[in-house]
Chain A
């Protein structure tokens, strides 16, 4: 008798499908547009000079690192309520991408700080709380990697994410809540009107859109990969 082996999982190993590929292509095209706008279209800031152009990468990275922890928290809450693996996989994927965005936001912020403030780092409330957010992400990833496996680890991670997500709104409003050297919001509902010239605001919004698509693309890819990892782990366990 001939033995047949399903190739179903093999086809979907780490593949997000057409939506994911479409997102990547759109993101690549928008990234070229963003680079054109940032380097050739927007005027150079009179006070900060060319270093102001760092803002077009730093702000989207920082905003998405905050959105990411909110995604982790919401997916974790759903996981705790429904006990389904899909929401846990979304939380895990978002946390992993969140730590990448948060790291890049801190590094780009430090590089912006050196020419503008004269120091790489200062214990400003917004900066310090962003560092706390980075530690929340790191704690989540370490818990998932070295903590209990299976549903127990997912539950612990969910609780940690829910507690850690409290930091996100505080980071967002830190410059408004405390006397901070960090600039206040330049876009969004709480931004003062005219705080950013129109051309700069347009470039920033397009950059934010581009990075949001990149974020969505990475989430889909990592989510599919995480699901496959879980499936293969279960398969291995069933063999042994």
Chain B
């Protein structure tokens, strides 16, 4: 999931940038009032914050997966060490 997510992030960001460029021109052409154009920063703030929020959450999930994998590895090592300890004491 993590690797697939990372592979998808780059094309999505590039897609957003590619789509955003003509949008600015389109928005400027289609609105006559300068007041409407001043709202562009608000629009981009929304899209950036939403993406940042989701990527931060995905990052949190992937980090938690890594932690769990490490915990599982340590449990495996403990389990493997158990019979050796028993045979030493025996």
Chain A residues near B (Cβ < 8 Å): 1, 3, 5, 9-10, 13-16, 20-21, 24-25, 28, 31-32, 35-36, 39-40, 43-44, 48-51, 53-54, 57-58, 61, 97, 100, 103-104, 107-108, 111-112, 114-115, 214, 218, 221-222, 225, 228-229, 232, 235-236, 239
Contact = CB atoms under 8 A, between A and B. Distances in A.
A112 B50 CA distance: 13
A50 B65 contact: no
B12 A28 contact: yes
A166 B52 CA distance: 30
18 contacts: A3-B83, A5-B79, A10-B72, A15-B1, A16-B1, A31-B12, A39-B19, A49-B37, A50-B27, A50-B36, A104-B50, A108-B46, A111-B45, A112-B46, A115-B38, A115-B42, A214-B54, A225-B65
Nearest to A214: B54
Given A49-B37, A51-B43, A3 B69 contact: no
A196 to B, nearest CB: 18
Contact of B79 (A3, A58, A225): A3
Contacts of A24: 1, 4-5, 8
B49 A44 contact: no
Nearest to A47: B36
A24 B11 CA distance: 13
Interface residues of B, number: 48
Interface string B44-77: 0111011001100100011011001101100110
Q: Which 6 pairs between the two chains have the least Cβ-Cβ distance?
A: A49-B36, A14-B65, A51-B39, A39-B23, A115-B39, A50-B27
Contacts of A112: 42, 46
Contacts of A25: 4, 8
Contacts of A57: 46-47, 50
A44 B65 contact: no
Contacts of A14: 1, 61-62, 64-65, 68-69
Nearest to B84: A3
B57 A218 contact: yes
Given A15-B1, A235-B75, A35 B64 contact: no
A118 to B, nearest CB: 12
A20 B61 CA distance: 14
B7 to A, nearest CB: 10
Nearest to B11: A28
A53 B64 contact: no
